[in-house]
Amino acid sequence: CKDSYLDRPPLGSISETAISNANGVNGALIVAYRGLTGKSIGAWYTSPNNWLWGGIRSDDSYKGSESLDQATEINPVERFEVLPSGPSVSNKWKALYDGIGMANTVLRLAEKAEDLTEQNKARIIAEARFLRGFQHFEAKRVYNNVPYVDETIETTEQYKSLKNDQSIWPQIEADLKFGYDNLPVTQTEIGRVNKWAAGAYYAKALLYQSKFTEAKVVFDVIIASGVNNKGNKFGLVPQFKNVFRGEEENGVEVVFGIQYTTGDGTGGANSNTEGELTNPHNDGPGGCCGFYQPSQSLVNAYRTSGGLPLLDTYNSVDVKNQESNPKDFPDRGELDPRLDYTVGRVGVPYKDFGLAKETWIRQLANGGPWLPNKHIQWKDEVGTYYIAGSWGQTQLGKNQLLMRYADLLLMAAECEVEVGSLAKAQEYVNRIRSRAAGSTVVMDGGKPVANYKIVNYTAAWSDKVMARKAVRFERYIELAMEGHRFFDLVRWGVADTQRNSFIQKESKIRTHLAGSQFRKGKDEYLPIPEFVVNQSKVDGQPNIKQNPGY
């Protein structure tokens, strides 16, 4: 009587033994993909969307919103005063290592599942290794000195023995390359990673290590032969403004993205939670919450002269806004048309919502006069791609683009510059500029809002320094507000100078930045979270060492 009375296995769940089969492995792989969303930690800044880590730390945006909303999580990040115990620092870490753990679970189960076909097993392992490599790559560029966890690590003792004193680039490369070498060229299910996406991240990892020649080889193959899962060759969407349209979310420009969905009855459990904070406020599209506002410096970068960017002097004269001049705005001077699809300007038509309004800005004094634009939905996308949420926010079903073809071309262009083929680099940059030039400009009352002007670089680049500058600047304005900028600045070794001059300029209008400072050698990377160091102690000595300066 007693044993059966006292043995009570859990209800509503299943044991590992019971799912060590093909169904179980497939299910575990679903969860490894879900790991990309950072949702198991449930915070606002845990996915590779990186609006906080790649955007607000750079020179393209401010925190926005009210001064004390998300103050503990974000204010210290924006001011480079984060502590190892800071909640946002810990959450990003947890999301990454959870994703790594889920990928490792797939790898372990795949070896146990006897009913998997060899072909499926090989594909599943390649997908899981790509995901594991992707998450480690993200960890590497955010925290730098990170340990690598593979599927053999299971016990507490094994976890505690891991160290962070060696670079994990070799393992990241190995995982991504494994995906590149073993994945099919197309996949039936559109959300899965294919050979080309894995290759693109492999090349990106090489680029981050300045292995330009090796990276170029891979980029060249992808540019020549890369296709998406529908079998369509990678390319640029004809209109710049349509890159972020819902119907393009799995289109030719998307190399890899996170699949989100809404309207599944869950109240947003599978939608893009991070985007809920970064919509314009009040009666604006989204209704909440007004974070992630573009900076004045970014807006200034879209000033053109004769259709070309002002590479050195762009930030010396401000593009007008209603804060500086309520009587005379918007600025109708010579501008790159990408501005009005990247930044919302009050008084300028905003997608299909009509003119952007002052009331969409949550707190002008804190967040400034500019609105985010790229990742915000169109009005005609209600239903399929976004639905109203339960507390006034919007739940976004549209995918998070992680790498698009323009990004890939610009990375390839960087490689070309560094290996010396400046003409090739110029060609890539001009492809992007041509697309931008061909885009519809923003019209109001039958007239273009500004003197939109953008032209290709026609004179051949003869100078590596100038070419590098042009490529990097193109990357700034093409990919602004997409979460890349900070990592680019660090990678180029200019984060300190760029950010500090940004602070110097911007703190005059955004006074909450005053007194903050970027310290070279420290602030390129977040601290290792306090709990990670503490939990790695063996006999009182931590195996995971804190990053320099923290």
Partner 1 sequence: QERKVTGRILDGSNSGIPGATILVKGTQIGSNTDENGNYSINVNSESSILVFSFVGFQTQEVPIGNQSIVNVTLVEDVNALEEVIVTGYTSEKKKDIIGSVSVVNTKTTLQQPSSNLGNMLQGRASGVTVSGTGAPGGAAKVRIRGFTSFGNNDPLYIIDGVPTDNANALNPQDVESIQVLKDPVSASIYGSRAANGVIVVTTRQGGTKTEISYDGYYGIQALPKRAYPSMINTQQYYEYLQKAAEGAGIPFKSNVFQNGIPKYLVTNMNVNQNPGDATNPNFDKYNYDPYSYDKTYQIAELSQGTDWFHEITRNAPVQSHQVTATGGSEKGSYALGVNYFGSDGIFKETNFNRVTVRANTRFKPKKWLTVGQNLQVAFARSSGSSGNPLDLGGGLDFAGEGSPWYNSYRVPPFIPVRDIQGNFAGTSLGEAGSNLTSPVVLARNKDNKFSGLTLLGNIYAQIEVIKNVTLSSSFGIDQRFGNGYNFNFITPEKAEPIRNNAFSEFFFRGGSWTWTNSLQYKLEINENNSLKLFAATESIFDQFRSISGNRTDYDFNDPSFWSLNTGKNLPQNNGSPSTPRTLYSIFGKVEYQLNNRYLFSGTLRRDASSVFGPESRVGIFPAVGLGWRISEEGFLKSISAINDLKIRAGWGQLGSQRNVGSSNAYSFYGATLTGTAYDINGTNGLPVIGYRPTVIGNPSTKWEAAEMVNVGIDGSLWGGRLDFSVEYFNNTTKDLLVGRQPNGLEPTVGQPQINVGTMSNKGVDAQLSTKGKITKDLSFDIGLTFTHYVNEAIKIDADGSSALLFGAGRLGNIQKVEGGRPLASFWGWQVDGIFQTQAEVDAHAAMSYKRVGSWKLRDINNDGTINGDDQTYIGNPIPKFQMGTDISLKFKDFDFQTFLFWNYGNDLYNYTKWSTHLRGFVGGYSTDVLTDSWTPTNTGASLPILNANDTYSGAISTSFYVEDGSFLRARQMQIGYTLPAGLLKKIGVGRARIYLQGQNVFTITKYSGPDPDIGILGNELQMGVDQFRTPAPRTIIFGVNLGL
Q: Between residue 73 and residue 92, which ones bind partner 1 under the rule CB under 8 A?
A: 73, 75-76, 79, 81, 83-87
Q: Which residue is associated with the tokens 């730390």?
A: 57
Nearest to partner 1 of 307, 349 (CB atom): 349
Q: Is 152 in the site for partner 1 (CB under 8 A)?
A: no
Ranges assigned E (strand) in 369-525: 370-372, 386-388, 394-396, 400-404, 443-444, 447-448, 451-452
| Closest CB 210 distance from partner 1, rounded Å | 28
332 is a contact residue toward partner 1 (CB under 8 A):
no
Q: Candidates 53-61, 282-290, 414-422, 432-440 — which segment interacts with partner 1 by CB under 8 A?
A: 282-290
**From the centroid of its chain, how far is CA 163?**
27
Toward partner 1, which CB reaches closer, 313 or 534? 534
- The stretch near partner 1 (CB under 8 A) out of 219-227, 384-392, 425-433, 453-461 is 384-392
Query: According to the binding rule CB under 8 A, does residue 94 interact with partner 1?
Result: yes
Q: Say whether residue 549 binds partner 1 (CB under 8 A).
A: no
Q: Does 422 bind partner 1 (CB under 8 A)?
A: no
Q: Check binding of 227 to partner 1 (CB under 8 A).
A: no
* Nearest-approach distance from CB 155 to partner 1, in angstroms: 10
Which of 496, 476, 474, 504 is CA-nearest to residue 488?
476
Secondary structure class of 64 (helix, strand, coil) = strand
Q: Which one, of 375, 343, 352, lies nearest residue 277 by Cα?
A: 375
Q: Out of 238, 267, 521, 548, point to the residue binding partner 1 (CB under 8 A).
A: 267
CB neighbour class for 14 (10 Å; exposed up to 12, middle 13-18, buried from 19): exposed
Give the total residue count for the chain: 550
- Secondary structure element (H or E) that encloses residue 538, with its range: strand 537-538
The answer to whether 536 contacts partner 1 (rule: CB under 8 A) is: yes
What phi, psi does 448 have (nearest 5°)? -60, 140
54 vs 84 by CB, closer to partner 1: 84
What radius of gyration, in Å, describes the C-alpha atoms of the chain?
A: 24
Find the shortest distance in angstroms from Cβ 235 to partner 1: 19
Minimum distance of partner 1 from residue 460's CB (angstroms) = 42
Number of residues that bind partner 1 (CB under 8 A): 125
- Closer to partner 1 by Cβ: residue 171 or 261: 261
Tell me which stretch binds partner 1 (CB under 8 A): 165-173, 427-435, 456-464, 536-544. 536-544
Which CB contacts under 8 angstroms, 24+ apart, belong to 231-236?
A: 231/186, 234/196, 234/405, 234/408, 235/405, 236/405, 236/406, 236/409, 236/431, 236/432, 236/435
283 binds partner 1 (CB under 8 A): yes
Is 3 or 118 the residue whose CB approaches partner 1 more closely?
Answer: 3
**Options 235-243, 410-418, 497-505, 532-540: segment touching partner 1 (CB under 8 A):** 532-540
Residue 236 is a binding residue for partner 1 (CB under 8 A): no
- CA-wise closest residue to 67 among 465, 362, 390, 279: 362
- CA distance between the termini of the chain: 59
Residues 161 to 180: which contact partner 1 by CB under 8 A? Answer: 162
Does residue 7 belong to the site contacting partner 1 (CB under 8 A)?
A: yes
370 binds partner 1 (CB under 8 A): no
Residue 237 makes contact with partner 1 by CB under 8 A: no
Based on the shown chain and the rule CB under 8 A, indicate whether residue 363 belongs to the binding site for partner 1: yes
Question: Using CB under 8 A, which of 316, 359, 451, 504 touches partner 1?
Answer: 359
Q: Would you say 304 and 335 are in contact if contact means Cβ atoms under 8 Å apart?
A: yes
Paired residues of 258 in beta bridges: 400
Q: Which is nearer to partner 1, 109 or 339 (CB)?
A: 109
Contact 334, 451 (CB under 8 A): yes
Q: Counting contacts by CB under 8 A, is residue 546 touching partner 1? A: no
- CB closer to partner 1, 160 vs 320: 160
CB proximity list for 379: less than 8 A, separation 6 or greater: 285, 351, 352, 353
Residue 288 CB, nearest distance to partner 1 (Å)?
4
What is the nearest approach in angstroms of partner 1 to the Cβ of residue 448?
Answer: 19
Closest Cα partner for 408 from 255, 202, 185? 255
Query: How far is it, in rounded angstroms, from Cα 44 to Cα 63?
Result: 13
- What is the CA 145 to chain-centroid distance, rounded? 20
Element (H, E) at 89: helix 87-112
Site string for partner 1, 18-57 (x = CB under 8 A): -x----x-xxxxxx-xx--x--xx----------------
For partner 1, the binding residues in 511-530 under the rule CB under 8 A are 511-512, 514-516, 529
Residue 93 is a binding residue for partner 1 (CB under 8 A):
yes
Q: Which of 57, 136, 281, 374 binds partner 1 (CB under 8 A)?
A: 281
Cβ neighbors of 352 (< 8 A, separation 6 or more) are: 378, 379, 380
> Per CB under 8 A, does 321 bind partner 1?
no
Q: Is 497 in the site for partner 1 (CB under 8 A)?
A: no
499 touching partner 1, by CB under 8 A: no
User: Helix or strand or coil: residue 280?
Assistant: coil
CB of 393 to partner 1, least distance (A): 7
Regarding 532 and contact with partner 1 (CB under 8 A), the answer is yes
CB 546, min distance to partner 1, A = 11
Q: What's the one-letter identity of residue 13?
A: S
The β-bridge partners of 443 are 448
Closest CA to 274 of 87, 101, 399: 399
Instruction: DSSP letter for 50, please.
Output: -
Which residue has tokens 């979460």?
483
Cα 388 to the center of its chain, rounded Å: 24
CB of 185 to partner 1, least distance (A): 17
Report, in Å, the least distance between residue 112 CB and partner 1. Answer: 13
What residues pair up with 227 in beta bridges, in sequence order? 233
List the interface residues with partner 1, window 99-138 (CB under 8 A).
Answer: 100-102, 105
